[in-house]
Amino acid sequence: MSKEWLENVPAYFDGYLKLVGEDDVIEAMKNSKSEFAAWATDISEDKGTYAYQEGKWTVNEMLQHVIDTERIFQYRSLSIARGEMNELPGFDHNSYAKNSKANQRKLSDLISEFTRLRDASIDLYSSMDETNMRYKGMANGFVVQPVLFGYLITGHLRHHLNVLGARY
C-alpha cells in the first residue's frame, strides 16, 4: 500500500507524514516498531515518571498517549475499511492523558503493551486489500482513508520518539 494512494490529505497531518520515508505502509510500521524497540532498550524503569518540565507529560504519559492514539487510528481504519458511513469522532488527547493513570503503571508494561499493539496494527493493515485501504470516510471533520492512518501511526510514533530523544 503506497503513499501515492493518499488523496487530499489535510495539512493538519503533514508534520507526521513528513517523518515517514517509506512508500509501503507495512514496512513503515515494522521499521518504526524497530526504532521503538531500540529506544526501549536504552531507557531505565525509573524514567517512566520523569517529565523534563513541570506541566509536561511524563515518559509514561507520552507512551500511553502513543498507545491510545494508535488504538483510535486502528479503530478509524477498521471502521472506514468496513464501510462505516457515520462520522467518527475526534478525541481530546490531553483529557485522555489526564485520565490514563499512566504514572501508576510500570514503564516496562507500557513498552510491552505498545509492542503487542503495533503487532496488531501490522496484522490489521496486512488484512486489508487495496480497495478497502482506499475507502473514504469522515473522522474528526476530515475526509480520510485507512491507508492514511497507517502512515500516521508511523509518523506519530516517530514524532514522539524524537521528543523523547531530545527532551528526556
* Tens-digit pLDDT profile for residues 97-111: 999 999 999 999 999
* Tens-digit pLDDT profile for residues 77-98: 999 999 999 999 999 999 999 9
Q: Are 102 and 93 in contact (CB under 8 A)?
A: no
User: For the domain that residue 91 is a member of, what is the CATH number?
Assistant: 1.20.120.450
Number of structural domains, the chain? Answer: 1
Q: Model's pTM, two decimal places? A: 0.94
Residues 6+ apart with CB under 8 A from 22: 28, 31, 154
Domain that holds residue 134: 3-167
